[in-house]
A and B are shown apart, each in its own frame.
Chain A
């Protein structure tokens, strides 16, 4: 459990970081909180020769609301997300989801940028970001671009991020003031990744669902945005038939791998249960 040796860099600005990445190419890797990368390095499943630590770059930190967009610096830790009253008021699902990531020790170190850039299907924030229709602000040698969370994940650990690019911020459209939300996660214990988890955002008017977004964690090689399942809910009063239809549509997209958490059949089944629970809680909150 000792990583291979590596050189350590701590740039003070994004351009400086990009320059180091450019110099070493695929031998370099950025490190944020290190709570996904360092364990991989200890197992020698990752052996970067150069680690580029982003923690001393001030512009990658902070949370601000920019008109209709919330901008969260990539190096903002999960603990800082939890500590922001402004963010919790505007996007309570972020608070609910962050609280279900690991334990306080991990949340003090782990960053939002690392969580979404990592590409591990077990990470919780990617599905939440898909549910919120967030975008990732990405900067590379050739400039900056924005990638939709719903288009970012290609397969396990493979993302739309190009070599040498850094996620600098996460941009979330401010949700309507009155909305329902829920992040429901089944896990074996504190510190475990999801057996199955569902994120739901919803607006309701006159008892009928107006908008709905559903996304799933750890039920396939990437987070799963369930457009069809969401559509099955819109217009309903969230009756059993609508929930069953949504769970069915989402189920067709699930492709979890069997592991210590259980079989494919079990994980798919509880994926449906998580969707049902998240929908009901979101509906209650939207109508409370």
Chain B
């Protein structure tokens, strides 16, 4: 062999590190060396710091705010209150859900931790001292934290600003604390199904209030240039372009004079989608002082104020035949939105995509209704590592299936197999209005059951139960089954927008003369590894090695307009835009190749990293040569250069699915549990980078474990938040976290350019029901139908205690 030996096809393919390759994450080179660049790493000349005074009360009138002592604290330069903000028309701000929210307390406070005043100082220590020195006089008001009591006739009126307004952004309001009612499905047909049902179940299934815990909390650095009239905001934004548009709409600054830059982000999980009072305050403070102002929330502020998740109380009813065929589904949800409806959903979807609640099953008729209510709790309602309300829906149906199986005396896996949508039914139209793109549920379920040895586990469980009854053991064994279908990739402009912006995404590719290039995308990685995977898509599409491609996101001046990263939408939407932009590059390259090889375009075929003449493989041009030609000597009549832009409006959502199994042992005397085995089979269609998928699944399962087994933001009757620090809010360490076994099947999406579906959130969506079903499965032979989450030691002990297991 000598240097002239042409590389084999395998070598050329491997060099690309394209789709399917376990390419190492390129961003980790800087992250693992502490060289990431996060908002709090940024320093601008003359930078000031802002810190928030927060309400100690759940509901109170603000009688007065005295800032005089705070202004005397050395280093404090300004204190903003609602009064100052009202001067620039920013005491209130619009929310993503069509409501309005106080930026700083305007007359009253509605939840503990609410933003009351913003202290600006020369450093963060002085700002913290200034916060202590602000004197606020409150008059306590009656508190309502229980959504079930929020619509009682005598419930305190929380939102006085809405007094008399009996219509909200999503239709009529039934009560002064009611936000909306949202219904989907055929009520009459569903009622009939229940009236004639042979068997039915009804259960209140609550999904407690929790909160994402990104390593980095929410923060921003705002810098207003008075001379140029331009505003630059660096922030932890999952959707920087949306922030720019919102900032322009609510200020008087034109959009081209606003520069929103999201640098490296240390995790988001939905927490960084919304616009928070701290951002507005920092911006106004920068305008007022003429200096850059940084605002960084601490961990307790993060847990207590910037966007919780869930707090969904779902009454689930399933009708079925005695043989276990489901004939109808009815769900009512009481949705606790806190003090303001700041839910991060596409604008027309007040309950997100909760109508995916029919799950993986062929359910002929269904009806759902969701009532959103105000309470004295923090606002939000973000999709914590799930598409909009999809994890709530998956939890509801997957618990419901187990409860039905129990009533029928049927194995829960068997009940699922019996009701799955069959492969030949796709594309499948669900009773609640979705078109499922593709699926092969039976294959996935059977593979999973074989892999974990489902039959043997059930036999072992039976023996264990007998041993328990004989008093030989104090351990219970639970087997959790979950088969979820997600709906991700929001979304088609026909049904998804945010404040009127269609939920497309975008990509711009520039290939440089020497065959490397830059890929700019409208999504924004928060740790998902976009810099790695986006380059892999382009590499496979146009034959340029991934290592020769820079991926850039987050700068609204340079990235094409995109709707950001959340709801597992990046691969389904931005990933498609990337492939489409790459195909435009490839099409141009093909024209150049035809010209250079003097053949018709149709006589060319693509071959890994270039074009060759069909039947004459030695006549070929590599992409590198074609790119050079585009700059050096383009064919007559063709514009030089090698650039493409694509804006992708997806024709449909994508529907990833998976089969998860959890085997758990629970000590009835202490409530301690041990996850013996967790098996997760995911089908996310085409797999771009199997290693990144595995990492996403590990992370999502760990969050699911945390949610199901311990996380809870609990308020007492006086509106005090308990569990708002990591002392109590369950963040498992490596010691508690179970071992994860991952597996997959591949059912590509038929409408997506590369067949990929999105996976980041699947493990959270499917993981929670798998854990919860395992706990319920452990106990249900002793009676009872449902144990509410979180399944911590105390509640497991309670479950045992209420079933008479403590003698």
Contact = CB atoms under 8 A, between A and B. Distances in A.
Interface of A: 1-2, 4-5, 44, 103, 186, 188-192, 195, 259-263, 266, 269-270, 273
B109 to A, nearest CB: 20
B710 A269 contact: no
Given A1-B298, A188-B792, A260 B732 contact: no
Nearest to A192: B727
B793 interface: yes
Given A5-B125, A261-B794, A266-B797, A44 B672 contact: no
Q: SS class of chain B's interface: helix, strand, loop or mixed?
A: loop
Contacts of B735: 189-190
Nearest to B735: A190
A45 B393 CA distance: 42
A44 B125 contact: no
A270 B670 contact: yes
Interface of B: 124-125, 128-129, 132, 298-300, 669-672, 710, 714, 722-723, 727-728, 730-733, 735-736, 792-794, 797-798, 801, 806
Contact of A44 (B132, B714, B728, B794): B132
A2 B793 contact: no
8 contacts: A188-B793, A189-B732, A189-B733, A189-B736, A190-B733, A190-B736, A260-B722, A266-B798
Contacts of A263: 794
B723 A269 contact: no
Contacts of A270: 669-671, 793, 797
A1 B300 contact: yes
A213 B754 CA distance: 69
Given A2-B124, A262-B794, A273 B733 contact: no
Given A189-B735, A190-B735, A5 B129 contact: yes
A188 B710 contact: yes
B801 to A, nearest CB: 8
A273 B670 contact: yes
Contacts of B723: 260
B208 to A, nearest CB: 13
B729 to A, nearest CB: 9
Nearest to B792: A188
Given A189-B736, A260-B722, 5 more contacts: A4-B129, A5-B125, A186-B670, A189-B731, A259-B722
Contacts of A1: 298-300
B730 A262 contact: no
A32 to B, nearest CB: 20
A262 B793 contact: yes
Contacts of B710: 188-189
Contact of B730 (A2, A103, A188): A188
B386 to A, nearest CB: 24
Nearest to A191: B733
A191 B734 CA distance: 12
B733 A266 contact: no
B670 A260 contact: no
Contact of A273 (B124, B125, B669): B669
Nearest to A189: B736
A255 to B, nearest CB: 17
A259 B727 CA distance: 11
B218 to A, nearest CB: 15
A3 to B, nearest CB: 8
Nearest to A262: B794
A42 to B, nearest CB: 9
Nearest to B301: A1
Given A2-B124, A5-B125, A262-B797, A186 B806 contact: no
A190 B299 CA distance: 19
Contacts of A103: 733
Contacts of A190: 733, 735-736
Nearest to B723: A260
Nearest to B733: A190
B794 A269 contact: no
A234 to B, nearest CB: 25
A39 to B, nearest CB: 9
B794 A186 contact: no
B797 A269 contact: yes
B132 A266 contact: no
Of B298, B670, B710, the most chain A CB neighbours within 10 A belong to B670
B730 A4 contact: no
Contacts of B124: 2
Nearest to A261: B794
Contacts of B731: 189
Of B124, B736, B794, B798, the most chain A CB neighbours within 10 A belong to B794
A2 B125 contact: yes
Nearest to B672: A186
A195 B671 CA distance: 11
Of A1, A4, A103, A261, the most chain B CB neighbours within 10 A belong to A1
Contact of A189 (B128, B132, B730, B798): B730
B797 A4 contact: no
Contacts of A262: 792-794, 797
Contacts of B672: 186
Contacts of B732: 189
A259 B728 CA distance: 9
A2 B128 contact: yes
A273 B801 CA distance: 14
A155 to B, nearest CB: 21
Contacts of B299: 1
B135 to A, nearest CB: 15
Which 10 residue pairs spanning A and B have beta carbons closest together?
Answer: A262-B794, A2-B128, A260-B728, A1-B298, A190-B733, A190-B735, A266-B794, A273-B669, A189-B736, A270-B670
B163 to A, nearest CB: 37
A191 B725 CA distance: 13
Of A188, A195, A259, A270, the most chain B CB neighbours within 10 A belong to A188
B500 to A, nearest CB: 39
Nearest to A39: B727
Nearest to B299: A1
Of B124, B727, B806, the most chain A CB neighbours within 10 A belong to B727
Nearest to B732: A189
Nearest to A187: B793
A103 B735 CA distance: 11
B417 to A, nearest CB: 37
A188 B731 CA distance: 10
Contacts of A44: 132
A275 to B, nearest CB: 12
A4 B128 CA distance: 8
Contacts of A192: 727
Contacts of B670: 186, 270, 273
A103 B734 CA distance: 12
A103 B732 CA distance: 13
Contacts of A189: 710, 730-733, 735-736
Contacts of B806: 269
A89 B794 CA distance: 36
Contacts of A195: 793-794
A262 B669 CA distance: 14
A176 B672 CA distance: 34
Nearest to B736: A189
Contacts of A186: 670, 672, 793
Contacts of A259: 722, 728
A192 B733 CA distance: 11
A262 B801 CA distance: 13
B779 to A, nearest CB: 16
A262 B124 CA distance: 37
A259 to B, nearest CB: 8
A190 B298 CA distance: 22
A147 B557 CA distance: 69
A100 to B, nearest CB: 12
A247 B733 CA distance: 32
A1 B128 CA distance: 8
A4 B129 CA distance: 7
A259 B794 CA distance: 11
A62 B722 CA distance: 40
A229 B159 CA distance: 56
